């Protein structure tokens, strides 16, 4: 059974995956796998871009979003024409010749990846480039084109080690996606420490985050720019922060990581 494993730490947001998907499918008839994708309005691979934090502590998180080729795909039973099926290799296909345009699958898909083609009166989505896989290709166009090899495609057993470290989107939906993501960006708390008397940034200040619930501590030092930037924090965490250098201490209480946090320029006095 095939899987996608997408390493977001090496996705540079180049959009190649989105562009080559269009190159492969717009105007090309791959029946019985898919009818042509229209010129506009559909993204069988859509690169999601999220700006995180506030200036100057900003990060951009990219994530290619596509059909998850779920093992418990809600789109399949939703189709009253039995037009959607899962292949032996795990790929989920909407048969363009059976689809009668009822749109039930579009409502049933929790990931919002099925589009409606008004001209052809059919539902359409990523096919995993199954027409290529069945003709000698080892991977779909998006994986083939990714310059950083962030998108990997292959046998589940081949990627077992990566999958063990990966996450799926909204596992609580229980649909068992076959698209795994590595290094999904978590929350961060950032700031810049400076000495107002010396008018210089403070290098090597010890910044200790304490989880207000568990009491667990983690420590980072300010870098050569006076910056500290602990990452990988949970979505709804609460933290106390203590910054210390040469016996001078600055403290912040109850920092929420509901959003990414930029504490700005912090005078250490």
Please say which residue, 109 or 129, places its beta carbon nearer to ligand SF4.
109
Instruction: For the CB of residue 187, give the shortest distance to ligand SF4 in the complex, in Å.
Output: 22
Please say which residue, 73 or 189, places its beta carbon nearer to ligand SF4.
73
Q: Please provide residue 66's backbone torsions phi and psi, each rounded to the nearest 5 degrees.
A: -150, 175
Instruction: For the CB of residue 158, give the shortest distance to ligand SF4 in the complex, in Å.
Output: 19
Side-chain-facing half-sphere of 24: CA atoms under 13 Å: 26
Please say which residue, 92 or 193, places its beta carbon nearer to ligand SF4.
92
Q: Number of H helices and number of E strands within the chain?
A: 6, 17
Instruction: For the CB of residue 18, give the shortest distance to ligand SF4 in the complex, in Å.
Output: 7
Please say which residue, 67 or 266, places its beta carbon nearer to ligand SF4.
67
CA distances from 216 to 65, 210, 213, 239, 262 (A): 34, 6, 8, 10, 21
Instruction: For the CB of residue 76, give the shortest distance to ligand SF4 in the complex, in Å.
Output: 7
- Cross-strand bridge partners of residue 233: 187
C-alpha angle 132-133-134 in degrees, rounded to nearest 5: 90
Instruction: For the CB of residue 178, give the shortest distance to ligand SF4 in the complex, in Å.
Output: 8
Give one word for 108, left, alpha or beta, with left for phi > 0 and alpha for psi -120 to 50: alpha
How far is residue 145's CA from residue 151's CA, in Å, rounded to a whole number?
9
Please say which residue, 36 or 90, places its beta carbon nearer to ligand SF4.
90
Please say which residue, 148 or 256, places its beta carbon nearer to ligand SF4.
148
Q: Which residues bind ligand SF4 (CB under 6 A)?
A: 11-17, 47, 62, 64, 67-70, 73-75, 92, 109, 111, 113-114, 125, 145-146, 148, 150-151, 175
Of 62, 55, 89, 66, give the one whose Cα is nearest residue 20. Answer: 66
CA distances from 11 to 62, 67, 93, 227, 235 (A): 7, 18, 26, 24, 22
End-to-end CA distance of the chain: 60
Here the tokens at position 202 are 């403070």
Instruction: For the CB of residue 226, give the shortest distance to ligand SF4 in the complex, in Å.
Output: 31
Please say which residue, 180 or 194, places its beta carbon nearer to ligand SF4.
180
Instruction: For the CB of residue 149, give the shortest distance to ligand SF4 in the complex, in Å.
Output: 8
Please say which residue, 12 or 28, places its beta carbon nearer to ligand SF4.
12
Here the tokens at position 105 are 């699958």
Instruction: For the CB of residue 241, give the shortest distance to ligand SF4 in the complex, in Å.
Output: 33
- Cross-strand bridge partners of residue 190: 262
């Amino acid at each position: 059974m095939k899987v996608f494993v997408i390493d977001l730490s090496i996705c540079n947001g180049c959009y190649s995956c989105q562009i080559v998907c269009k190159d492969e499918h717009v105007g090309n008839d791959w029946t019985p796998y898919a009818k042509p994708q229209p010129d506009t309005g559909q993204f069988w691979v859509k690169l999601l871009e999220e700006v995180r934090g506030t200036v100057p502590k900003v990060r951009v998180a990219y994530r290619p979003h596509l059909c998850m080729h779920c093992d418990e795909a809600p789109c399949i039973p939703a189709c009253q024409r039995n037009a959607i099926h899962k292949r032996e290799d795990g790929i989920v296909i909407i048969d363009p010749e059976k689809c009668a345009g009822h749109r039930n699958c579009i409502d049933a898909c929790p990931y919002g990846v099925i589009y409606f083609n008004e001209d052809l009166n059919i539902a359409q989505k990523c096919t995993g480039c199954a027409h290529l896989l069945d003709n000698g290709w080892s991977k779909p166009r998006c994986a083939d084109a990714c310059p950083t090899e962030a998108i990997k495609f292959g046998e589940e057993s081949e990627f077992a080690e990566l999958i063990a470290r990966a996450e799926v989107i909204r596992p609580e939906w229980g649909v068992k996606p076959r698209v795994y993501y590595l290094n999904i960006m978590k929350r961060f708390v950032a700031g810049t420490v400076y000495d107002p008397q010396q008018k210089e940034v403070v290098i090597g200040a010890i910044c200790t985050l304490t989880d207000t619930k568990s009491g667990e501590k983690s420590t980072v030092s300010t870098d050569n720019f006076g910056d500290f930037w602990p990452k990988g924090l949970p979505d709804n965490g609460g933290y106390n922060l203590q910054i210390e250098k040469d016996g001078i201490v600055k403290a912040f209480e109850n920092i929420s990581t509901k959003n990414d946090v930029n504490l700005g320029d912090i005078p250490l006095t």
